[in-house]
Amino acid sequence: VLGGFGARGVVDGLERLVSDVAPAQAQGVVMLEHEQLQVSGEGLHRELRLVPRLGLAPQQHERFQAHDTPLGRLHAALDGGLADARAELVFARAEQLVHRPQIAILEDLLQVQLLRAQGGAGEAGQDGKRGEQAVHDTENARRERIRKGKIPVCRAPRPAADAPGAQNRRAIHVRMPSTMPRPHALLCLLSLSLLTPVLLRGQWPQDGSDLKADPKAVFGTLDNGLRYIVLPNDEPPGRASLRIYMDAGSLMEEDDQQGMAHFLEHMAFNGSRNFPGGEMVEYFQRLGMAFGADTNAHTSFKETVYMLELPKVEPKLVTEGLQLFRDYLDGMNLDAAEIDRERGIILSEKLSRDSIEYRTMIAGYKFALPESLLPERLPIGIEETLKTMQRPRFADFYEKWYTPKRAMIVAVGDFKDVPAVEAEIQKQFADAKPRRGDAPDPQLGKISTGRGLIAKLHTEMQAKSVDISIENPRPAKNKPDSAAARREKMVRDLADAMLNQRFSKLVKAEGSPILAGESYSYEYLEFVEVIGVMAQCAPENWQAALTLLETELRRAVEHGFTDAEFDEAKAGLLKNAQLRAAQADTRKSRDLASGIVSVMAAKKVFTHPSADLARVKAAAESLTREECHRAFVETWSSPDRQLFVGGNLKLEGDAEAQILATYKASQEKPVEAPAQEQTAAFAYADPGPPGKVASEKVDAGLEITQAVLANNVRVNIKPTPFEKGSVRVTLNFGGGKLTAPLDKPGLIPFANSTFIAGGLEAHSADDLRRLFASRTVSTDFSVGDEAFLLAGRTTADDLEAQLQLLAAYLKAPGYREEAQRQFQNNLEPMYVQLRHTAEGVMNDKVVAFIHGGDPRFTFPDIEEMRKRSLAELKAWLTPALTRDWLEVSITGDVEAKAALDAVTRTLGALPARSGEKPAYEKERQIAFPKGPQTRDFPFQTEIPKAISILYWQTGDMRDIQRTRRLSMLASILDDRLRLKVREELGETYSPACYHVANDTFTGYGYMTAMIECKPEQAAALAKLVTEIAAGVAAGPITPDEFERAQKPLMTQIEQMRRDNRYWSQNVVRNCQEHPERLDWASSMVSDFGSVTLEELPGAPRASRLGQQHGQRLRLR
């Protein structure tokens, strides 16, 4: 996804680009290698260190994790280390959905991952003890809910283990972003000019292939050409995921219809044959489906997909879901008044996309695709047509392109009677007919090949850095999906992975000119192959960075790869195939449904992970380093090279000539073969004599084992069946932010960014990556609110190795200078974001304001930040690492006894830890600003956007019943904002309200509402939100509003409790330090279910929500 910049592009695209543009709005399939992510250096390692955990604490986001949201999956991946995290960042950002105020938090992730993590917001999934966030966010969570994009995004499905390419990578099948942030990434869209399908419409990819489709999947085609896939899957039990895929997107638009495909997708929610306008969302809320989380859609260049997550697999619900899909196919009302009302939302959405990166992207499109229709058909459209298109033109597009042959139904869920589901599909869709015949795909121009060596500079002085790419697009071999085709791709992916290992080391080298580097190759739509290398750098280093890219590319072509590089890449390949196969039986229906859509859109075979593993094993036996080198040479055999330089660089004179001259000068220099390397054995495999269990007990109700070892290490273990082959481990130790030295501002983000990057005393971070290439282990560190956190994600077989690695970080952290260099090199890009984006201001000035200026929640000026050192970090962390309170939590597919034995042999061998933890009463005090106040936070930007934010003080989390009811109240306010501001006034794309309750800082909590808008709208919208909030405080709240808040919540809680993330992050973690977490988990379902409408008018509802309270903040 995110174009040709691969894992590194995911990193940067996710942190700085896609937040302002519409990711995944284009059709396409890109694979992102799980193993490559592990071995490709700076594109992954630096970023996750720079962005440790995105500052997101999943235990603070129970509400969002509850229904397996992209954010929740992101948290899960972050627990899994670099590979999972980088992969998950792709779809975490891409899965921002078009109609989803309830999961608005996703709309910040890209910017926040840089900004907040640098601000030490804490590790995703590790910070604190929140067990009640199914319906509200705690303190750190608020920081992440900055209202960024509000962008209609092509949903990036969960990577399906059975997706094409899965045998050699963690296949992430994602529709490419319509607003591709990187110009060099745009070349992957070249193939759009070659839309001659490999398969005739109506055929299945497995027809004629030697690959066998998943045997559980049932494939069918109706007489009218509509296709369907039904897959029985019992995770989660009693639920189902439905999709209708339409082979129709923005590329089908005519000149006066630009933006029509996406606009039409919006109109699907504004009334249809069986679901009247203004009632659809409310109807599904009453059934227990959350707006955005369970009812959704996305539009891209060549597809539109509508999604439903059914709370129950009941015949009535399945029928109604399919009825709705039939309405989407040919029953939309397209009421003229509704069209006019929706224009404001669409235009607001378009405004939210405007950014430095979006403008750079457009320049890149025009450079890469000068003779293609693509640059003229961005899914968001143009203002002229969005303002003027009338109903007849909507009907023209709808009736021409929404036809049965272009439709596919996907149903995945706990179906006990698959034939009955097939029969219902037949019943609902058999009589559907094309209203204007079946139109062929449009002609999209041609690909400009044979251009030789060309260059382009695009200057945006408010960009955070310079991105340089060398790309070489060429026609794809146009091969159908087959075992041979997948093996061929596997070989090429291994070559990219090996080059990425080199980039990882080069980034860390002293004096390195690059901040990140990446090699990538992929096919897009089976028509065009895009290959490239890219680097990110400071503007003054652009020539050195371009030279390095050219040199390393040529070194790989001329001399190939080393044995150590090959062994590492191949080990990762096997490991990930094994992991996918192990986890196949507990894949979520939501992920499978989205994955099937992606696979089918790419015309690939939907295979099973066990079959993929068998192919990987067979291929691995014959794969050689020389074969990978030959494939890499062939990949780069064309003389065409497109050099794109974009960012905060301005060159006097002929910029393109200077770029070309730099490149040609580099070509004249000889390159030497890479040096062969040897990696020593892991130095910490023998932790010493094992410890002993001093006490042990089991909570029978929650099935949690709690033990205390003789050295005072606390152990909490919860075996679960929810995710086979996956075990989550977290170490909580010391006092985290409560112990932060106030005279060293910035030390928290410095710690988050450098601790893991510094490696161990005996091994660098690169050494560790290679040592554990064949093992499923990971490490991450963050400064939580009241503890430091080390975390990893592993398997039962590798649990002891994971614990050995975490124990080594406690005993012998490396504090290498390369980690500090990386941090320092990335400060300027980070501060550009802080100065010139609303998100930056939000994470800096606003966070500081609502925390009373506390240094633990502020960014110092950049010069002060540069003073932070490894010596300061070591002095701060050493007591916590060596002797403070330590509690380890293990959750997942593991037996309690085996897990406890592994802990005694590793962490049990550590020197004695403290048996008590200080109260830190003084350090738990934060002064929420006294109100009411109206504050402006100005910032300089070329993008005319603002955020209007309101805060009302509430309280901390300790009164859990009050907290839960405040969360429900926030949901009601959120829904009123949606109805008034979005649906009635059309003033903004996605307003949002939520409640934050903290359980670390005494008395700290608030309710907040955010709206992204034009600068001139900020004051009026703040006033309107204040009035709406006052109305909620004054009452009445209707029974219908209450039901529409409570039922989706109960659905989310039910699903959440079958998710390891919830148990790991909200219950098991620190449950000996905070035993109330067990009580909260036990009472959650019954308490939320017992809330009554009559309770809301009490103290929670009156808590400072009226007009006389609150903070009005305007970022503009």
pLDDT, tens digit, for every residue of 999-1039? 999 999 999 988 888 888 888 888 888 888 888 888 788 99
**pLDDT greater at residue 751 or residue 68:** 751
Contact, 1045 vs 975, CB < 8 A?
Answer: yes
Q: What confidence score (pLDDT) does residue 30 get?
A: 24
Residue 1103, number of CB atoms within 10 A of its CB: 21
Q: Does residue 170 have a pLDDT over 60?
A: no
Rg of the chain (C-alpha set): 27
- The Cα–Cα gap between 520 and 513 comes to 20
Asked if the bond preceding 236 is cis, omega within 30° of 0, the reply is: yes
Q: Does residue 736 have a pLDDT over 90?
A: yes
DSSP, residue by residue, 278-291: TTHHHHHHHTT--B
- The Cα–Cα gap between 432 and 422 comes to 16
CA distances (Å), origin 664, targets 15, 452, 658, 867, 1014: 32, 13, 10, 39, 46
Q: Residue 667 in 3-state DSSP?
A: helix
- The Cα–Cα gap between 269 and 286 comes to 16
Query: For residue 647, which of 535, 751, 569, 743 has the smallest C-alpha distance?
Result: 535
- 799, HSE (Cβ side, Cα atoms, 13 Å): 29
Query: Which of 221-225, 449-453, 678-682, 831-835 has the highest mean predicted lDDT (pLDDT)?
Result: 221-225
Contact, 248 vs 1071, CB < 8 A?
Answer: no
DSSP, residue by residue, 991-1028: -EEEEEE-SSSTT-EEEEEEEEE-GGGHHHHHHHHHHH
- The Cα–Cα gap between 291 and 111 comes to 24
User: What is the value of pTM for the model shown?
Assistant: 0.80
Q: Does residue 950 have a pLDDT over 70?
A: yes
- The Cα–Cα gap between 285 and 278 comes to 13
Q: Residue 630 in 3-state DSSP?
A: helix
Asked if the bond preceding 379 is cis, omega within 30° of 0, the reply is: no
- Name the pLDDT band for 1054 (thresholds 50, 70, 90): confident
Q: Does residue 284 have a pLDDT over 90?
A: no
Query: For residue 343, which of 300, 297, 385, 301 has the smallest C-alpha distance?
Result: 385
Beta bridge partners of 1049: none
Helices of type H across 331-482? 336-353, 356-368, 383-388, 391-401, 418-429
Q: Does residue 718 have a pLDDT over 90?
A: yes
Q: Give the mean pLDDT of the chain.
A: 80
**pLDDT tens-digit profile of 831-852?**
988 888 888 888 899 999 999 9
- Name the pLDDT band for 462 (thresholds 50, 70, 90): confident
Q: Does residue 32 have a pLDDT over 90?
A: no
Region(s) of the chain under CATH 3.30.830.10: 693-825+860-924, 933-1115
- Name the pLDDT band for 905 (thresholds 50, 70, 90): very high
Strand order in the sheet with 1005-1013: 933-937, 1111-1115, 946-953, 1005-1013, 992-997
Q: Does residue 46 have a pLDDT over 60?
A: no
**pLDDT tens-digit profile of 202-245?**
689 999 899 999 999 999 999 999 999 999 999 999 999 999 99
Can you give 72-106 as a three-state secondary structure string? HHHHHHHHCCHHHHHHHHHHHHHCCCCCCHHHHHH
State both tokens at 35: 């193993």
Length of the chain: 1116
CA distances (Å), origin 347, targets 263, 264, 396, 398, 982: 10, 14, 22, 21, 12
- The Cα–Cα gap between 1042 and 1089 comes to 12
- The Cα–Cα gap between 976 and 995 comes to 15
Percent of the chain at pLDDT above 70? 79
DSSP, residue by residue, 718-771: EE-SSSTT-EEEEEEES-GGGG--TTSTTHHHHHHHHTTTT-BSS--HHHHHHH
CA distances (Å), origin 823, targets 114, 459, 741: 12, 25, 19
| Site of tokens 């659809």 | 280
Amino acid identity at 390: Q
| Site of tokens 């989310």 | 1052
Query: For residue 471, which of 417, 527, 519 has the smallest C-alpha distance?
Result: 519
Q: What confidence score (pLDDT) does residue 181 get?
A: 31
Eight-state DSSP code of residue 14? I
Q: What is the mean pLDDT of residues 422-431?
A: 98
- The Cα–Cα gap between 607 and 597 comes to 13
- The Cα–Cα gap between 14 and 19 comes to 7
State both tokens at 453: 């060596």
Percent of the chain at pLDDT above 90? 58
Given the candidates 3.30.565.10, 2.60.120.10, 3.30.830.10, 3.10.590.10, the CATH classification of the domain at 933-1115 is: 3.30.830.10
- The Cα–Cα gap between 288 and 284 comes to 7
Q: Does residue 751 have a pLDDT over 50?
A: yes
Q: What is the mean pLDDT of residues 852-856?
A: 93
Residues with Cβ within 8 Å of residue 844, at least 6 apart in sequence: 115, 119, 834, 858, 859
Contact, 973 vs 950, CB < 8 A?
Answer: no
Q: Calculate ∠ Cα 1006-1007-1010, nearest 5°.
A: 125
Q: What is the mean pLDDT of residues 962-974?
A: 90
**pLDDT tens-digit profile of 582-607?**
999 999 999 999 999 999 998 999 99
Strands (E) located in 247-327: 295-299, 304-310
Domain covering 693-825+860-924 in this structure, CATH number: 3.30.830.10
| Site of tokens 């000035």 | 845
Q: What are phi and psi of 156, to 5 degrees?
A: -95, 110
**pLDDT tens-digit profile of 33-42?**
222 222 222 2
- The Cα–Cα gap between 1109 and 928 comes to 13
Q: Does residue 1107 have a pLDDT over 50?
A: yes
Q: What confidence score (pLDDT) does residue 681 get?
A: 93
- The Cα–Cα gap between 54 and 48 comes to 8
CA distances (Å), origin 269, targets 23, 339, 392, 541: 21, 11, 19, 49
- The Cα–Cα gap between 715 and 1091 comes to 34
Q: Residue 220 in 3-state DSSP?
A: strand
Q: What are phi and psi of 1105, to 5 degrees?
A: -95, -5
Contacts of 921-926 spanning 24+ positions with Cβ under 8 A: 921/1002, 923/735, 923/738, 923/739, 924/738, 924/1000, 924/1001, 924/1002, 925/1001, 925/1002, 926/851, 926/852, 926/854, 926/1001, 926/1002, 926/1004
Contact, 356 vs 840, CB < 8 A?
Answer: no
Q: Does residue 167 have a pLDDT over 70?
A: no
Q: Residue 714 in 3-state DSSP?
A: strand
**pLDDT greater at residue 982 or residue 716:** 716
Residue 1090, number of CB atoms within 10 A of its CB: 10
Q: What confidence score (pLDDT) does residue 679 get?
A: 79
Residues with Cβ within 8 Å of residue 865, at least 6 apart in sequence: 745, 746, 749, 750, 827, 859
Helices (H) and strands (E) counted in the chain, each on its own, are: 39, 24
- The Cα–Cα gap between 1107 and 1085 comes to 33
Q: Which of 288-297, 363-372, 964-973, 1057-1066 has the lowest mean pLDDT?
A: 288-297
- Name the pLDDT band for 531 (thresholds 50, 70, 90): confident
Residues with Cβ within 8 Å of residue 262, at least 6 apart in sequence: 25, 98, 152, 250, 299, 304, 346, 379, 380, 381
Amino acid identity at 608: H
DSSP, residue by residue, 517-571: EEEEEEEETTTEEEEEEEEEE-GGGHHHHHHHHHHHHHHHHHH---HHHHHHHHH
Contact, 343 vs 983, CB < 8 A?
Answer: no
- Name the pLDDT band for 412 (thresholds 50, 70, 90): very high
Q: Does residue 919 have a pLDDT over 60?
A: yes
Strand order in the sheet with 780-783: 693-699, 704-709, 714-719, 886-892, 727-733, 788-794, 780-783
Q: What confidence score (pLDDT) does residue 201 get?
A: 62
**pLDDT greater at residue 262 or residue 357:** 262
**pLDDT tens-digit profile of 108-127?**
333 333 333 333 322 223 33
